[in-house]
A and B are shown apart, each in its own frame.
Chain A
């Protein structure tokens, strides 16, 4: 799996937007960009994913650069419950039956009240 680079930590205030960056300069044409998060003492949780176009769901938005070498996860209004480690992961959609997730260290997001 191609490698991603994320800041170790970020801090935000409650009810403010948060932009979590991810660099993936070696991304291939068949790689999807996935974001998962892990709340304290819980299993990872799917947030959002995309290929080329920006994506929105009830949890977040994903902005993908035109050259696909970077992306940004956007939490529109951070809440205390959003404090977690956020992982940016590339997954090859080229075929096969495995589709394992390769986790990095992620970004630890702290949300201040």
Chain B
């Protein structure tokens, strides 16, 4: 049983368009993360989220990015105006009280044309 699912699995968008990627935890988790992986490159941390606020963000996570948990369940990553270089796999991860293990979702493949 996966700890987290992500939708959509694939998304194709035009440059300048807004996209929203969704992460749905299966069980109760306290900590939420977004990572991305550009094709052929390392997995990169974007942002961590705890207690309904951002706890840490990387340099990649600029003003074009935002995260929220609008209904206390889904955890979303919004990219306001996509750029070609935003094309990547985006992974959501969650962890529970111990913060020792992060469970990753299957990812959303975003292609910006």
- Report the bound CA distance from A44 to B105 in whole Å: 8
**Count of A-B contacts judged by CB separation below 8 Å:** 56
A44 to B50, CA, bound (A): 21
A18 nearest CB across to chain B (Å): 22
**How many angstroms from the CA of A99 to the CA of B32 in the assembled complex?**
10
Which residue of B is nearest A44, CB measured? B104
Supposing A32-B100, A46-B102 touch, asked if A38 and B31 sit within 8 A by C-beta, the answer is no
B-to-A contact residues, CB < 8 Å: 31, 33, 35, 42-45, 48, 50-51, 55-56, 58, 91, 93, 95, 99-107
Q: Chain A interface secondary structure, helix, strand, loop or mixed? A: loop
What chain B residues lie within 8 Å of A96 (beta carbons)?
Answer: 55
A residues whose Cβ falls under 8 Å from a Cβ of B: 32, 38, 42-46, 49, 87, 96-105
The answer to whether B104 and A99 have CB atoms under 8 Å apart is no
A104 touches B31 (CB 8 A): no
Closest to A100 in B: B45
9 contacts between A and B (CB under 8 A): A38-B43, A96-B55, A97-B48, A98-B48, A98-B56, A100-B56, A101-B102, A103-B35, A103-B44
Most buried by B among A32, A49, A96, A104: A96
The answer to whether A45 and B104 touch across the interface, beta carbons within 8 angstroms, is: yes
Nearest A-chain residue to B53, judged by Cβ:
A97
In the complex the two chains form, is B45's CB within 8 Å of A43's CB?
no
Residue pair B42, A103 in contact (C-beta under 8 Å): yes
Pick the most buried of A42, A98, A104: most chain B CB atoms within 10 A of its CB: A98
Residue of A nearest to B48 (CB): A98
